[in-house]
Amino acid sequence: MSDPFVIIGGDAAGLSAASKFARENPDGDVVVFERGRWISYAHCGTPYYVKGEVDRLTDLLSLSPEAAEERGIDLRREHEVVAIDTDAQTVTVESSGDGESFEQPYGNLLVGTGAHAITDPIPGSRRDMAFTMHGLDSAAAVRAALSPSDEAAVDTDIEYVDADLVEKYADREPPERVAVVGGGYVGIEMAEAFHAHGLETHLFQRSSHLLPPFGEAVGERVADHLRERGIELHLDTAVSELAGGDSVETVVHEDGRVSVGLALVGVGIEPNTDLLSETPVELGESGAVAVDEYGRTTAENVYAAGDCAEDRHAVTGEPTWVPLGLTANRAGRAIGQTVASDPEPVGDVAGTAVVKALELECGRVGFVGDESARDAGFEPVTTTITAGSRSGYYPGGDETTVTLTADRGTGRLLGGAIVGRDRAAIRIDTLSTALESNLTVAELERLDLAYAPPFSPVWDPVLVAAKVLRGELD
């Protein structure tokens, strides 16, 4: 009998791979080692759990351990892989339950170790009442910290919640003023969550715009909207310390200090690759694991996928690191298929991302704005337009702002961003599809897109932007 398919990490990439493998090769063995208690959870849902729109942590689980077992997956939670021997084709596993350690041979190995939130650049980020949003336990802790001490917002009877952590925060009175450090996805989503709890919310962003990968037009509209709704923005403001005693008490920044009862740090994530440092598995320039179009690393029979791995960019064909949910699921599934039977490419990434900022919907894809496109070797031209989301006479529409970037030499679309209240985010899929199909701006302009007064004007905002940009390319 051959050695099993061994998977390190029981989240999106790992369990997608295990599920696909088990379905395609029911006689094969697949073992998943997960160092924590949670598996397969929707990281992107945690801000909405904190906000209260999602009732229970378990609502965020895509797959229960029981369901994984039913699929034929040998799932070992609280089992940490601490070493990989790519010559012997074994991994060393430590069980945090019984403290025992053992060697596990593998036929194929998938590294799906994910990523972790960066905190260290901000001194004091490890104080009590300072949090990152990376994992369900931290989400539970933040929700507990926001809830009145006589209200059990978090059900510690749920099997795997870290009850000690939750209870530590559940007994406190909730803060009145909070800080969010970082104006990316997590920062914006958490600011929305805190604002929904009625807290005085201060958002600190080091650079001059929120959501930098979405370009300036989106950043400015989101900033205006957040301010209108009463969120205090501190742009161009680097936080130097989260000061206090045991708990965070003060955000110290270059222009002053703000007293807060809670701080959420969302300044980015890093791939978990420490485990690979003693192996021949190479990392790419991004610091994530280098892989080919089938998710294969530089070591034989070793694959990597999800937030720890690079992808190939749809526009440049070059490696890139875009740690998001769909690509993790998709790459895992493709690798499960490849290991089980026929090779299946993991697919390129276009850098598609969408985020909700209170009432605003934001989307982006590819290279947005001249700077990033120039860095990628193009001669970019960028335009930004604003157009209605519906026919002007039809109620309920909103001004939709579209930024498009194209290459002057070839006329090829390089990227774009969209923001507005009415069906703005989902419109980015038009641009993603166009980008992955290598359309020029002239071809984009001639697309036969939907028109009906309740949903879109005759010229969809995407078409208006293409029309204007094409004029600038000529």
Q: Which residues are marked as active site? A: 44
- For a second copy, which is the closer residue by CB, 116 or 446? 446
CA distance 380 to 372: 9
Query: What amino acid occupies position 36?
Result: G
Query: At its nearest, how many Å lie between a second copy and the CB of residue 198?
Result: 20
Asked whether position 15 contacts a second copy by CB under 8 A, the answer is no
329 binds a second copy (CB under 8 A): yes
H runs (alpha helix) in 181-265:
185-196, 215-228
Q: Given the complex with a second copy, which of 1 and 450 has the nearer CB atom? A: 450
Which of 40-48, 80-88, 111-119, 298-306 is the region at the interface with a second copy (rule: CB under 8 A)?
A: 40-48
Applying CB under 8 A, which of residues 241, 356, 370, 386 lies at the interface with a second copy? 356
Write out the binding residues for a second copy, residues 395-454 only, by CB under 8 A. 395, 423, 425-430, 432-434, 436-437, 439, 443, 446-454
Look at residues 49, 84, 64 and name the one whose alpha carbon lies nearest to residue 301. 84
Nearest alpha-carbon partner for 147 in 122, 127, 167: 167
Measure the CA–CA gap between 386 and 363, rounded to whole angstroms: 15
How far apart, in whole angstroms, are the C-alpha atoms of residue 51 and residue 43? 14
Asked whether position 69 contacts a second copy by CB under 8 A, the answer is no
Contact between 406 and 473 under an 8 Å Cβ cutoff? The reply is yes
The SS3 of residue 342 is coil
Nearest to 418 by CA among 382, 452, 384: 384
Tell me the two tokens of residue 351.
């850098």
Amino acid present at 367: F
The single residue among 326, 374, 375, 408 that binds a second copy, judged by CB under 8 A, is 326
Q: Is 60 in the site for a second copy (CB under 8 A)?
A: yes
376 scored as a contact of a second copy (CB under 8 A): no
CB of 284 to a second copy, least distance (A): 18
Contact flag: residue 345 with a second copy (CB under 8 A): yes
Tokens 């641009």, residue located: 431
**Residue 361 near a second copy by CB under 8 A:** yes
What are the Cα distances from residue 109, in Å, to 85, 281, 292?
11, 12, 15
CB closer to a second copy, 105 vs 345:
345
- How far apart are alpha carbons 196 and 142 in whole angstroms? 14
CB of 56 vs a second copy, minimal distance in Å: 9
Is the Cβ of residue 190 or residue 365 nearer to a second copy in the bound state? 365
What whole-number distance in Å separates Cα of residue 360 and Cα of residue 354? 11
Is 145 a binder of a second copy (CB under 8 A)?
no
Q: Is 118 in the site for a second copy (CB under 8 A)?
A: no
DSSP labels, 50-84: HHTSS--GGGGBSS-HHHHHHTT-EEEETEEEEEE
Taking the least distance from each CB to a second copy, the nearer of 91 and 463 is 463
Please identify, using beta-carbon distances, which residue of 160 and 459 lies nearer to a second copy.
Answer: 459
Smallest distance, Å, CB 177 to a second copy?
A: 26
Q: What residues make contact with a second copy under the rule CB under 8 A? A: 12, 42, 44-45, 48, 53-54, 59-60, 62, 314, 324-327, 329-330, 345, 347-356, 361, 363, 365, 391-395, 423, 425-430, 432-434, 436-437, 439, 443, 446-456, 458-460, 462
